[in-house]
Structure 1
Amino acid sequence: MAKALYIAEKPSVAQEFAKALKLEMRNHNGYKEGETAVVTWCVGHLVTMSYPEVYDEKYKKWSLETLPFLPEEFLYEVIPSAKNQYEIVSQLLNREDVDTIYVCTDSGREGEYIYRLVEQMSGVKDKGKQRKRVWIDSQTEEEILRGIREAKDLSEYDNLSDSAYLRAKEDYLMGINFSRLLTLKYGNTLANYLHERYTVISVGRVMTCVQGMVVRREREIREFVKTPFYRVFSSMAIEGTGIESEWKAVEGSKFYQSPKLYKDNGFLQKEDAGAFIAGLTGNTEFTENENGQSSQQTEGTQAVVEKIEKKKEQKKPPLLYNLAELQNDCSKFFKISPDETLRIVQELYEKKLVTYPRTDARVLSTAVSKEITKNIKGLQNIPGVRAYAEEIIANKSYQGLAKTRYVNDKQITDHYAIIPTGQGFGAMKSLKPLSVKVYEVITRRFLAIFYPPAVYQKVALTSAIEGEKFFSNFKVLADPGYLKVMDYSFFKKKLEEKPEEDADSGLCDTELLERISAMKKGTQLPVKSLYIKEGETSPPKRYNSGSIILAMENAGQLIEDEELRAQIKGSGIGTSATRAEILKKLVANKYLALNKKTQIITPTLLGEMIYDVVNASIRPLLNPDLTASWEKGLTYVAEGSITTEEYMVKLENFIKRRTDVVLNLRNQYALRGSFDHAAAYYKKGKTKGKEKDNEKV
């Protein structure tokens, strides 16, 4: 009897497919078999690209004479540690009684690549077997069965397969050629400077670009010169309550566009701020409090109400989570790395609790939106969010979801956003506390989209003292809307433990807002005091493990060329599946330092030196525009817009051209000045301050 063979990416996933098929199956070494079906699995990658020395023994020794290395045909080999499972899968693929193959590896570029390599090595492609691709968004039984039922012919994914092969070839060729090239050219220079026996310079298409982002940010911070400025405030009385109002040099002010100001609300010199206040009151005497804040008590000074603007402001629920957004929030909430977040959400996926995690989309598909009640009803089993799920069902808030901004088929490539499945609750007892918290974050974000926006009542007050304008803004939360869903169980009442975006500024009580709203133009308010607040400009913030992932996803924002920025929109640097691993590798290579407590990322001295080497030799590797445009090219291949031949010609020409440039450079000695400049920030005498300032490990 002919049988169908199901090939999953991991044993745990294969187990779920076997359950969904509802067949009596016997366990064998590396697979399960029933009367009409066989289920087996890979263990991640079973096949990999061969090292250069497999092509020719001469490549074993690193030499400039053998560069660039550009094979006409690429060689592949079975990974030694995975040989046993490969043999099992290969034999099953070639069994005569297997007439249909269901490819059930992860639904994405890498999952496609894992299977295609096995198929290529096994020689099964031309044996007349029917090959079908199962594409699923969760591991629930109904989704698995839908995926099998709607499986398309594998050939429909050939373009995706081509882009996967090209991605691997690109990383392989750039990594091998440029790492060998720069190590041979500059390795001794670095080793001598660092007093090491040798130094290998490891570079890559994506990781070197990310390294460059971190180094550039660190140098921006070092070179930043703080500018002090002095803002002027008034304290006015409204029926016994004091309110603060800030002066701004708007049109009509004596200081409008004055060179004495920083922007429009601060004097560059404290003396000028004091003279300005004295001009308003006729009093030149000031007092200073313990914080050094200069103030002047004012008697008889009046502010005149010039304008009161009232409006309602709506704050909509945020879009759903993709992997990058989730990694960023988990870095902020729990101080965990993107790699750890991915591990947790992958576990939640494999336990059927959430949908596929390696996604760039933050919206749902139209098809999913039509059946979303299944997900919501399931959440009635979770005590912490039961009330919200019940309210959504009772009010039928899910109706019309397809017409909202949370559903957009055009914004989905492989998978929709990460949401709870509404199933798998039996596995929650086995979850660690942190995993439960991550699940809660995903669940609350999902439920929030079925609630109305939060509504704020806002009042903007403009007053004048001697013709100079002072501004105050007040608001109250009139209707919490979706915000009531975002009451995370893991945050206490302490404000500092709340996420930054939840700490709304300018909030006041309803009574005060009503009093301010009731005032009329021309109302005079007694001024209790005028005072000066000293501030200073701030340097850019260092990346943390979450914000660097977002920066990689939104690489287009770092690109100045408008046309290219539009061209690569949606590609970014790396993919949702690889970004966490790239960051992990940079830390493992000791090119970047990650403070585990704060998740702040800074470069190491070695990382800065390699940055200088790359900047002086293959500068495009540091630029987001090049890296993102390569990623966009892979997308074009997956879409069928360009051919693999076109892509490879471009890639090989780039490698040849850049190799030739580096071979002709003679700039090793000149780099010493750059090394000295960077090393000054890593001297032992500065270690304590450096750790405090840069938050290094």
Structure 2
Amino acid sequence: MRLFLCEKPSQAKDIAKVLGANRRGDGCWVGNDLCVTWCIGHLLETAPPDAYDARYKRWVLEDLPIVPQQWKMLVKPKTASQFKAVKRLLGEARELVIATDADREGEMIARELVEHCRYRGPIQRLWLSALDDASIRKALAALKPGAATFSLYHSALGRSRADWLIGMNMSRLFTLLGRRSGYQGVLPVGRVQTPTLRLVVDRDRSIADFVPVPFWAIEVTLSSANASFTAQWRAPEDACDDQGRCLNPVLAQQAAEAIGGAASAEVVNVSTERVREAAPLPFDLGTLQELCSKKLGLGAQETLDIAQALYETYKVITYPRSDCGYLPLSQHSEAPAILAALGRADASLAALQPYLEPQRRSRAWNDAKVSAHHGIIPTAAAIDLGRLPSKHKSVFSLIRARYLAQFLPNHEYDRTEVDFDCAGQTLRAVGKRIVEPGWRRALPEALTPGKGREAPAAQVLPALSKGQHCAVAGVNLKDLWTQPPKPFTEGDLIKAMKNVAKLVDDPRLKQKLKDTTGIGTEATRAGIIQGLLDRGYLVKNGKALSATPAACSLIDAVPRAIADPGTTAIWEQALDMVQTGEMSLEEFVAKQSAWMSKQVERCAGLSLNISGPAVPAGGSSAPWKKKRKAAARKPSSSAKRPKKTAAPKAR
């Protein structure tokens, strides 16, 4: 019997339908000499400390660090019946096809079962990027050998064990240290959650410590040939800060009086540049979460849940947990079918059809830059948008627009700068004239410049030439103040987690970090943020995130290395090395164990001062693990299937 092992019941049902496995069995779908079964997320979990020694049920400082010599996995009680079904089927199978999600976490979900159940038969890998029938058939015809993706398992296993080592040991350590000083709550510390929390704490403190500085600007209204436009005063460099803001009020006042007393301003220079903007890449998950937060007001986890439903339930987009916006060249041949399907599903796209060029190959099509996954794009299984819930429709419209943009011309405009002399003062007017709308034609209405929440469109200047005089119609001296950094929104925090190298101060560490190295993964970042909200370390005020007093106290208490985003990013690089075979799993875990043991030794004598309400415990064996409402691998709420019970690993 050939066994297909899927990650979720809905995924199994889709694949079984294509394979003709239409008969329902015990925890599976049965066909002709084949069977399709499923997990419900992780059916196994890393054993808690007391599974290694009963004394670890009590939290005692002298027992730390806890480092398993032989790692144990336990069957999750709530999904034990499905585990039994999968174990039985693995025992009967002559060949296994792993059909879990095409990422390292999906690989781990399958491989941990293979190891635990001691399956030793041949293995192949089904690598799916979409769940519509055509995509499933295409993937079934191109199965990968099991060995091709095995390194993903070791990378995910390394991540899981590192999370366990840091979470179990450091959370116990700081909770016990907190009790010494009278704090009775739990102090959860995680490999990813703590550096993420520090990003918010640091931002809050930079806002609180910000001292506003006054500066002055002059806006001048000029007119020529019955057309008026605005120009800005350009103060002398020695009177400005590094951003060109005038800090001298007397100088600004004198300039305003001089300009106001002049009848006209003379054009001294005109320069026009043709600017060509290429279409933005299709979305990766982080960029989608960032834009949905900014434009639609959606939380990071909410965006992920909606994208997962669009992929899994409605089947109108490809795999959403992608960290890459590029597309493989092989997929370019599918463009005409996808474009046609999108046109049939939405009559409003008819106006765009004359401009679409299916043969166009934008910079997005680049095999060299495609990682394990490609950009999130629509599938050929497009449906009437009216069938989608409102928020799903909005998110899909953004994804669709980015794809359509790949088949439209560049956005082109002329940017004109005009310098004036007015009573000895320098003015500059900037204008923009669109020559070719190009890919911007595909943008949803809410994102079109001049519409909704976008900034107003740039001014169009009249035809001007050197030596020409324009009348001074108005002068406005502005008394302004520098502004503090803005609080993080969820979208901003996702972006900061992705681009953590920009926020690292240590020059040696910064040099080591790749621009693409972040903390967390596309699949886990939303859950990390949600977990910090659930635990009461972060609160939301509208869109803005802020840290609570307990969060600030915790960040002050933990060693800098544990809370440093750069440290976590270095670990992520090491996990990438495990995935590519440059480092073994055993070496990675050994280094993590040694590092963590040193931290326990250094911190054991610390004295903590924790303020704020106590964080409630979440369970006897691992009270720092509070289950998130929306775990990173939670099935879509729109799909009708058993509720997932897997508790997320603490990070």
**With structure 2 as the length reference, what TM-score do the two structures score?**
0.89
2:360–2:407 Cα contact (<8 Å) kept:
no
Measure how far apart 1:347 and its partner are: 0.9
CA pair 563-369 structure 1, distance change in 2 beyond 3 A: farther
Matched to 1:99, the amino acid is: R
1:271 maps to which residue? Answer: 250
Matched to 2:111, the amino acid is: R
Calculate percent identity across the aligned residue pairs: 29
1:454–1:482 Cα contact (<8 Å) kept:
yes
C-alpha separation in 1, matches of 2:36 and 2:202 = 50
2:218–2:252 Cα contact (<8 Å) kept:
yes
1:551 maps to which residue? Answer: 496
2:201–2:547 Cα contact (<8 Å) kept:
yes
1:200 maps to which residue? Answer: 186
Q: Secondary structure at the match of 2:78?
A: helix
Asked if 1:466 is matched to 2:466, the reply is: no
**Equivalence map 1:246-645=2 (5 Å):** 246-249=232-235, 255-258=236-239, 261-263=240-242, 265-278=244-257, 280=258, 296=260, 298=261, 301-350=263-312, 351-387=314-350, 390-391=353-354, 397-401=357-361, 404-425=362-383, 431-488=388-445, 491=446, 497-498=452-453, 500=454, 503=455, 505-508=457-460, 513=461, 516-517=462-463, 519-560=464-505, 561=507, 564-565=510-511, 567-595=513-541, 598-614=542-558, 618-645=559-586
2:619 maps to which residue? Answer: none
Per-residue displacement from partner, 1:171-190 (whole Å, max 9, x unpaired)? 01100000001111124536
Q: Secondary structure at the match of 1:522?
A: coil
C-alpha separation in 2, matches of 1:399 and 1:75 = 53
Measure how far apart 1:332 and its partner are: 1.9
Q: Secondary structure at the match of 1:363?
A: coil
C-alpha separation in 2, matches of 1:190 and 1:497 = 52
Q: Which of 173, 180, 189 does residue 181 from structure 2 map onto? A: 189
1:364–1:407 Cα contact (<8 Å) kept:
yes
Matched to 2:598, the amino acid is: R
1:231–1:247 Cα contact (<8 Å) kept:
yes
C-alpha separation in 2, matches of 1:61 and 1:520 = 82
CA pair 388-506 structure 1, distance change in 2 beyond 3 A: closer
CA pair 31-622 structure 1, distance change in 2 beyond 3 A: same
C-alpha separation in 2, matches of 1:384 and 1:554 = 39
C-alpha separation in 2, matches of 1:184 and 1:466 = 72
Per-residue displacement from partner, 1:376-415 (whole Å, max 9, x unpaired)? 22112222553267436xx6x23241xx311122222211
Q: Which of 99, 102, 114 does residue 104 from structure 1 map onto? A: 99
Comparing both structures, which one devotes a greater share of its residues to helix? 1
1:459–1:474 Cα contact (<8 Å) kept:
yes
1:464–1:470 Cα contact (<8 Å) kept:
yes
Q: Secondary structure at the match of 2:272?
A: strand
C-alpha separation in 2, matches of 1:63 and 1:359 = 41
CA pair 90-430 structure 1, distance change in 2 beyond 3 A: farther
C-alpha separation in 1, matches of 2:309 and 2:196 = 27
Q: Which of 199, 223, 246 does residue 213 from structure 1 map onto? A: 199
Q: Secondary structure at the match of 1:132?
A: strand
Which blocks of at least 5 consecutive residues in structure 1 are unaligned?
192-197, 250-254, 282-295, 677-697
1:109–1:164 Cα contact (<8 Å) kept:
yes
1:379–1:389 Cα contact (<8 Å) kept:
no
RMSD: 2.2
Which blocks of at least 5 consecutive residues in structure 2 are unaligned?
613-651
Moved more, 181-190 or 601-610: 181-190
Matched to 1:108, the amino acid is: D
Q: Secondary structure at the match of 1:371?
A: helix
1:226–1:539 Cα contact (<8 Å) kept:
yes
C-alpha separation in 1, matches of 2:400 and 2:54 = 55
C-alpha separation in 1, matches of 2:411 and 2:170 = 52
1:88 maps to which residue? Answer: 85
Q: Secondary structure at the match of 1:497?
A: coil
Per-residue displacement from partner, 1:517-568 (whole Å, max 9, x unpaired)? 2x33222333334441111111111110111111111112222437745643
C-alpha separation in 1, matches of 2:31 and 2:586 = 43
Per-residue displacement from partner, 1:220-277 (whole Å, max 9, x unpaired)? 000000001111333333134433222213xxxxx4414xx44575443433322344
Asked if 1:655 is matched to 2:596, the reply is: yes
Measure how far apart 1:664 and its partner are: 3.3
Q: Secondary structure at the match of 2:42?
A: coil
C-alpha separation in 2, matches of 1:482 and 1:40 = 44
C-alpha separation in 2, matches of 1:527 and 1:389 = 43
C-alpha separation in 1, matches of 2:510 and 2:469 = 55
C-alpha separation in 2, matches of 1:496 and 1:622 = 41
Question: Computing the radius of gyration over CA atoms, which structure comes out larger, 1 or 2?
Answer: 1
C-alpha separation in 1, matches of 2:255 and 2:447 = 44
What stretches of structure 1 move > 6 A for 4+ residues in a row? none
CA pair 532-11 structure 1, distance change in 2 beyond 3 A: same
Q: Which has the higher contact order (CA 8 A, sep 6+)?
A: 2
Q: Secondary structure at the match of 1:117?
A: helix
2:329–2:366 Cα contact (<8 Å) kept:
yes
1:229–1:262 Cα contact (<8 Å) kept:
no
**With structure 1 as the length reference, what TM-score do the two structures score?**
0.83
